[in-house]
Structure 1
Amino acid sequence: MKVSIFMMTALALILTIGSASCNEKEGKGETPAGMHEVTYQGFAFLCPDVLKPAKKLDSGETVPNIFMLEKMDVSNTLMCEVSDTDAEFTPETGELFAKEMQSQNPNVKVECKVLKDGLLVKTVSNDPSFSSETIYTAMRMFFKGKKMISVTFMYSEKNKATLGKYADAVMNSVRATE
């Protein structure tokens, strides 16, 4: 009987601690299943685990800012670039950039959203010179002072089920770490 009470108490304690730690992790923005966080030059974003770091052609070393579904598959990739800007981001400059993006290519469906800290641009393209499939692109430009990270996530129609489900999580996760 004493063993049974001890086991029940231990089980209750484990469940209570486990439940508390799960709630605590969720409150801190735990990384979703199937994704990991990438930190690059003072910024961070989520990356699907199915995407692997790209390799340099000349040395075979991995590239820290490009992730691909398969070797040399540029139509199913996640990449980022950090750069300095001349001025800090404003919603007015975001609006101008969004209008320019939408007017550049009338054959590409472009959706732009101006955010307080940058832009979110989504496109759907059917350009046979690039790919025989429809290509979906989401790009998040995030500004922190006079620094900007551009995170671009592209996937093809045949990989829409595999990669498309991650697009919003990737775009919403972009942040400054410094």
Structure 2
Amino acid sequence: MKLVILDRDGVINQDRDDFVKSTMEWVPIEHSLEAIANLTQAGWRVVVATNQSGIGRGLFDMHALNAMHDKMHRLVNQAGGRIDAVVICPHTANDRCKCRKPEPGMILEIVERFNAKVEGLPMIGDSQRDLEAIHAAGGQPILVRTGKGLKTLAQDSLPPGTRVFDDLYDAAGYLIQHSSST
């Protein structure tokens, strides 16, 4: 099984410094929906792993988050793609949970749920914590320059072996091409 984990904000949809709190604020990044469709059509299972501390901070509730994810699923489906699961961490950094990235808890949950191998498992993110989470689990960190990606790249502290692409569309193209040639 070909499985890829995607961060949400800054990878699939535009990120906001004040949090994405509603369906009106959930705006897809150009070509991200097509990228997920391309992955799906090439036989990849797509799972989203996203920190959503806005819940823990009281900025929005589960109803609002579910509405955002319904919109995401609908738009991805309309583009010809599919998201197989969305795993969230609703906690704040102060909660010190095991699921909030950079901890690998969500990744390990996904690996168990999908009976997948973590070695080489790609995760596409735009932040240092995304990269650290997949690296800690033993997978393949992939950074995109969208969202906080340029800022993350400028920190010059990427985990070893991190691949860097302009956006989700380019990263998906690489994964599809690489998986079909191996």
Question: Higher relative contact order at CA 8 Å, sep ≥6: structure 1 or structure 2?
Answer: 2
Counting strand residues as a fraction of each chain, which structure ranks higher? 1
**When you count helix as a share of all residues, which structure comes out higher?**
2
